[in-house]
């Protein structure tokens, strides 16, 4: 692996060594099935699972009985949205979400629409990526049963006004689901304070293992019941059958325990390095745009558009740094990010966008080296960019009639 | 995505980056692609009195494969006559750079850029027959 500076913590985080240590016994001699009632292997596994549940409950400020283990946030989103729509089918069929949600929400909503089970309103976002409480209020219908909005966006880090939207949902008797995958561990996420009824999280976004996650399902005021997506055995209060992934759950529990203890410290660390990185780049380069909200944003995320430079070529020029491109230029369609498009970022700038995300283990020396590599590469690529040349000549690029060489 | 060694070489050491005077009669300029598509190539040729392309320059906004395709194109057109340069096909570029299927459009764009530059040159020099019908190119 040539990459040695990891600035893609929104894609996945490294496993914290303390998490691995907690998991190891459950990958070795403590291999019991948590559902086995007749021997100590099972009791031991069950105890470990319940401890993990307790840690997650403390992080979210809920009862451990309100935690359902899943394989990750994609499954959590599926259970939340499909489960709520099916459970409340007699009450209504309208769901409110936003265009910048993760595909786990959007594809699920489209599936429910295509199969005739729900009507879905996809709220637009403002140019910072936010929806307002007023927008949500205006979208509510008589038959609205669910509002689902992510706490923080994965690409640009924008935070929605979750607390206010949750209060509105409660006032109107509508269940409120929040995909908190990116927010948990990076910002405080207290389900009581935020008025959230359902929330999902994923282990590998907070220094835990992949393939495990949790769903918070409120038991009182309102009492939320979700029709299961996976049947077979009635585990997890019937909401998610299947033998529990004990080592994964132990890892998730330890990751949440650490997140509860260290969230403030992690956030301060990530923010300091992210800001340092941004300042270094903005001091050296012009024509750099920040995508997302300047302040209502995850502390670790920096999505930048480097005008006149194509993102994939920039990534190629910083081989020591692991980041994500704002456009999926690896497909023949050259489709820019739908999230950036929703923010009103032009397709040209979307092709010039890179997401940098710091983490618990990022160091100052790393962000300095990464920023310097970006500055050097952007400068070099601009020297060979015909767009930069035209802009320097004073040509307004938007007035040019460009070729459309092939359909795409 | 893994790039071929040749793509990486052209990306790291691009040949003939730069610009020639657009107003020079002996210079042909082609600009193809669009920023919204993530690829814009500018390719210029300078033709000597003997009809041979004596210099070529490029500037490209695009991925590593697009940069490599246009860099290679400038290398290949140099020393060729206008007619010979027209023989360069995108498939030759694909082969030389080992471009994967999703990057074939980069080679197509490079071929378009060569043709656009040759057309522009021929258009400026009325004594020569036009290469083929060409759309008006931006930035001129």
The model's pLDDT over A339-385, given as tens digits with 9 standing for 90+, comes to 999 999 998 899 999 999 999 999 999 999 999 999 999 999 999 99
User: Which pTM was predicted?
Assistant: 0.92
Q: Does A331 touch chain B (CB under 8 A)?
A: yes
- For A353, phi then psi, to 5°, come to -105, 140
In this predicted structure, what is the pLDDT of residue A325? 83
In this predicted structure, what is the pLDDT of residue B37? 87
In this predicted structure, what is the pLDDT of residue A330? 44
Whether A355 and A153 have beta carbons less than 8 Å apart is answered as no
Rounded Cα distance between A252 and A235, Å, is 18
* Chain B residues in contact with chain A using a Cβ-Cβ cutoff of 8 Å: 1, 3, 8, 11, 14, 17, 19, 31-42, 58-64, 66-67, 101-102, 105, 108-109, 112, 135-139
Angle, vertex CA A301, rays to CA A398 and CA B63, nearest 5: 45
- For A247, phi then psi, to 5°, come to -60, -40
Whether A168 and A123 have beta carbons less than 8 Å apart is answered as no
In sequence order, which ranges of A186-327 are alpha helices (DSSP H)?
Answer: 246-284, 311-317
In this predicted structure, what is the pLDDT of residue B2? 78
In this predicted structure, what is the pLDDT of residue A328? 47
**Residue whose C-alpha is closest to residue A22's, from A200, A215, A248, A235:** A248
Rounded Cα distance between A43 and A51, Å, is 12
CB contact under 8 A, A395 and B61: no
Rounded Cα distance between A218 and A47, Å, is 23
Whether A318 and A373 have beta carbons less than 8 Å apart is answered as yes
Asked about B63 being catalytic, the answer comes back as no
Helix axes B64-77, B90-97, angle to 10 degrees: 120
Rounded Cα distance between A390 and A287, Å, is 14
Residue A201: both structure tokens together: 């999280």
Minimal Cα–Cα distance from A339 to chain B, Å? Answer: 16
Low-confidence ranges of chain A (pLDDT < 50): 328-332, 406-408
Rounded Cα distance between A368 and A302, Å, is 14
Question: Which chain A residues are closer than 8 Å to B66 by Cβ?
Answer: 310, 313
Rounded Cα distance between A292 and A290, Å, is 6
Rounded Cα distance between A259 and A253, Å, is 10
In this predicted structure, what is the pLDDT of residue A59? 98
In this predicted structure, what is the pLDDT of residue A397? 86
Whether A350 and A305 have beta carbons less than 8 Å apart is answered as yes
Question: Hey, which residues does A321 pair with through a beta bridge?
Answer: A5
Asked about B106 being catalytic, the answer comes back as yes
Rounded Cα distance between A261 and A263, Å, is 6
CB contact under 8 A, B36 and A346: yes
Rounded Cα distance between A315 and B94, Å, is 22
Whether A253 and A56 have beta carbons less than 8 Å apart is answered as yes
Residue A358 CB-density burial (10 A; 0-12 exposed, 13-18 middle, 19+ buried): buried
Residue A8: both structure tokens together: 């893609």
**Distance from CA of residue A192 to its chain's centroid?**
21
Chain A's closest residue to B34, CA to CA, is A402
Which residue bears the tokens 């990891």? A6
- Give the other-Cβ count within 10 Å of A329's Cβ: 27
Nearest by CB: B61 against A310, A316, A400: A310
**Residue whose C-alpha is closest to residue A20's, from A207, A182, A201:** A207
In this predicted structure, what is the pLDDT of residue A2? 65
Torsion (CA) A253, A255, A258, A262 in degrees, nearest 10: -140
What is the full per-residue pLDDT of chain B (140 aa) written as tens digits? Answer: 678 999 999 999 999 999 999 999 999 999 999 998 889 999 999 999 999 999 999 999 999 999 999 999 999 999 999 999 999 999 999 999 999 998 999 999 999 999 999 999 999 986 655 555 444 545 44
- Give the other-Cβ count within 10 Å of A397's Cβ: 18
Nearest by CB: B37 against A334, A388, A397: A334
């Amino acid at each position: 692996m040539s990459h040695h500076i990891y600035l893609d913590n929104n894609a996945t985080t490294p496993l914290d060594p303390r998490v691995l240590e907690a998991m190891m016994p459950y990958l070795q001699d403590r291999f019991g099935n948590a559902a086995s009632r007749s021997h100590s292997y099972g009791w031991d596994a069950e105890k470990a699972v319940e401890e993990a549940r307790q840690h997650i409950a403390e992080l979210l400020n809920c009862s451990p009985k309100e935690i359902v283990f899943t394989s990750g946030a994609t499954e959590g989103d599926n259970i939340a949205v499909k489960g709520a729509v099916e459970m409340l089918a007699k009450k209504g069929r309208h769901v409110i979400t936003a265009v910048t949600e993760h595909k786990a929400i959007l594809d699920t909503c489209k599936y429910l629409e295509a199969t005739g089970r729900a009507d879905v309103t996809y709220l637009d976002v403002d140019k910072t990526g936010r929806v307002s409480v007023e927008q949500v209020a205006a979208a509510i219908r008589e038959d609205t049963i669910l509002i689902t909005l992510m706490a923080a966006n994965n690409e640009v880090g924008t935070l929605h006004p979750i607390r206010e939207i949750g209060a509105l949902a409660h006032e109107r008797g509508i269940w409120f689901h929040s995909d908190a995958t990116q927010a948990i561990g990076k910002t405080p996420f207290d389900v009581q304070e935020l008025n959230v009824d359902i929330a999902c999280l994923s282990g590998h976004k907070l220094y835990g293992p992949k393939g495990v996650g949790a769903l918070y399902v409120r038991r009182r005021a309102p009492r939320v019941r979700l029709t299961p997506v996976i049947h077979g055995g009635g585990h997890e209060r019937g909401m998610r059958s299947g033998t529990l992934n004990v080592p994964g759950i132990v890892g998730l529990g330890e990751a949440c325990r650490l997140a509860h203890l260290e969230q403030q410290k992690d956030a301060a660390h990530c923010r300091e390095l992210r800001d340092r990185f941004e300042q270094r780049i903005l001091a050296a380069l012009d024509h750099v745009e920040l995508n997302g909200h300047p302040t209502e944003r995850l502390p670790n995320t920096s999505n930048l558009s480097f005008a006149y430079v194509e993102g994939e070529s920039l990534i190629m020029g910083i081989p020591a740094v692991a980041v994500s491109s704002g456009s999926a230029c690896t497909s023949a369609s050259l489709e820019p990010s739908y999230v950036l498009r929703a923010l009103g970022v032009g397709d040209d700038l979307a092709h010039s966008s890179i997401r940098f995300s710091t983490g618990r283990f990022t160091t100052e020396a790393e962000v300095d080296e990464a920023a310097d590599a970006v500055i050097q590469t952007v400068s070099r690529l601009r020297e060979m960019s015909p767009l930069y040349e035209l802009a320097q000549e004073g040509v307004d690029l938007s007035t040019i009639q460009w070729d459309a060489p092939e359909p795409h | 995505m893994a790039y071929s060694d040749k793509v990486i070489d052209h990306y790291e050491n691009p040949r003939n980056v730069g610009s020639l005077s657009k107003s020079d009669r002996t210079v042909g300029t082609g600009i193809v692609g669009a920023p919204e598509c993530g690829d814009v190539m500018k390719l210029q040729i300078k033709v000597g009195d003997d009809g041979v392309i004596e210099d070529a320059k490029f500037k490209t906004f695009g991925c590593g494969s697009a940069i490599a395709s246009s860099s290679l194109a400038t290398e290949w057109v140099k020393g060729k006559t206008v007619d010979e340069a027209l023989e360069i096909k995108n498939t030759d570029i694909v082969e030389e750079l080992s471009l994967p299927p999703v990057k074939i459009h980069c080679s197509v764009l490079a071929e378009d850029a060569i043709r656009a530059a040759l057309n522009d040159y021929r258009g400026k020099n009325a004594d020569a027959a036009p290469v083929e019908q060409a759309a008006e190119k931006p930035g001129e």
